[in-house]
């Protein structure tokens, strides 16, 4: 991925196997978010391919979501004035096919489908540890809850792959532990997870596989124990052991 003369990602390969948690670490400006943007259709890579189950994924965020790639953002992007429940319903609606006429007329098919969507949204709120009523406006929720709400919205889109950009940013120790448990539970639902984090302790204790990106290139990847002990990774990113 190049932005004019700046090559942000060069010769990068990342494979996300089914039911695995893959970590992506690296210094500031390494290209982690740019890679997420390429994988979720926000950027059209200037070279290379993004494949989902062997099929090319178009550079279109809505289409990527429809095909099962959901994400959260480093800087939370909720609809602040909408209730928690409505935020999750937005995620669910990416999966619902309703005719315009049926939606306008609020016919029985529409009402049934809407009731099922609301029930599913409540289930996802409870799954991430929020109140299933979901009546609170997103902006009034504590910061950690907003991060969980963003995950609930992503889960409501039935992802095959969930991409989390710094899910523990700004969280205290207790919230971070809860986030680790939540990500494990997401994997146990059969969803593959990719996590960007600066908290390397969190990544090494959570992930099945870790990639290290430095200045747009994949410096190393492997199981956490191997990556943590890699002298190149220690020199370029981790510092002393
Ligand atoms: N839309 C863009 N236009 C131009 N340059 C960009 C754009 N997006 C990212 N970059 C550049 O690409 C490089 C990688 O940035 P990126 O945000 O992906 O890094 P990162 O590893 O996610 O960093 P951080 O840990 O600070 O979030 C940086 O030099 C950045 O300035």
Domains and CATH numbers, the chain: 2-68+159-238 (3.40.50.300)
- The upper half-sphere exposure of residue 93, i.e. CA atoms within 13 Å in the direction of its Cβ, equals 11
Task: Assign residue 48 a region (left: φ > 0; alpha: ψ between -120 and 50; beta: otherwise).
Answer: left
- Whether residue 100 is predicted with pLDDT greater than 70 in this model: the reply is no
Buried b / exposed e along 112-147 (16+ C-beta atoms within 10 A): ebbeebbebbbebbebbbbeeebeeebeebeebbbb
In contact, 148 and 169? CB cutoff 8 Å: no
Separation of alpha carbons 169 and 194, rounded Å = 15
What is the model's pTM?
Answer: 0.90
Centre of ligand 1 from the C-alpha of residue 29, in Å: 5
CB of residue 3 inside a 6 A radius of ligand 1: yes
CB of residue 33 inside a 6 A radius of ligand 1: yes
Stretch 9-19: mean pLDDT, rounded?
A: 94
pLDDT digits (tens, 9 = 90+) for 110-148: 777 788 889 999 999 999 999 989 889 999 999 999 999
pLDDT at 180: 96
Cα angle for residues 80, 82, 84 (degrees, 5° grid): 95
CB of residue 26 inside a 6 A radius of ligand 1: yes
- Whether residue 167 is predicted with pLDDT greater than 80 in this model: the reply is yes
């Amino acid at each position: 991925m190049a932005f004019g003369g700046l090559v942000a990602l060069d010769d990068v390969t990342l494979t996300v196997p089914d039911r695995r948690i893959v970590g992506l670490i690296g210094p500031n400006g390494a290209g982690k978010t740019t890679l997420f943007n390429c994988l979720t259709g926000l950027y059209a890579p200037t070279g290379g391919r993004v494949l989902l189950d062997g099929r090319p994924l178009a550079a279109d965020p809505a289409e990527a979501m429809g095909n099962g790639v959901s994400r959260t953002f480093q800087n939370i992007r909720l609809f602040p004035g909408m209730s928690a429940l409505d935020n999750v319903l937005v995620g669910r609606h990416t999966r619902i096919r309703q005719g315009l006429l049926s939606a306008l007329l609020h016919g029985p098919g529409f009402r049934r489908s809407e009731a099922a969507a609301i029930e599913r949204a409540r289930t996802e709120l409870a799954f991430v540890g929020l109140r299933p009523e979901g009546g609170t406006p997103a902006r009034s929720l504590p910061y950690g809850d907003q991060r969980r709400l963003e995950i609930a919205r992503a889960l409501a889109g039935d992802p095959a792959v969930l991409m989390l950009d710094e899910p523990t940013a700004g969280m205290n120790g207790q919230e971070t532990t809860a986030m680790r448990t939540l990500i494990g539970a997401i994997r146990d639902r059969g969803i593959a997870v990719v996590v960007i984090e600066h908290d390397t302790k969190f990544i090494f204790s959570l992930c099945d596989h870790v990639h290290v990106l430095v200045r747009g290139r994949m410096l190393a990847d492997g199981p956490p124990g191997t990556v943590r002990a890699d002298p190149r990774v220690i020199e370029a990113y981790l510092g002393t052991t």
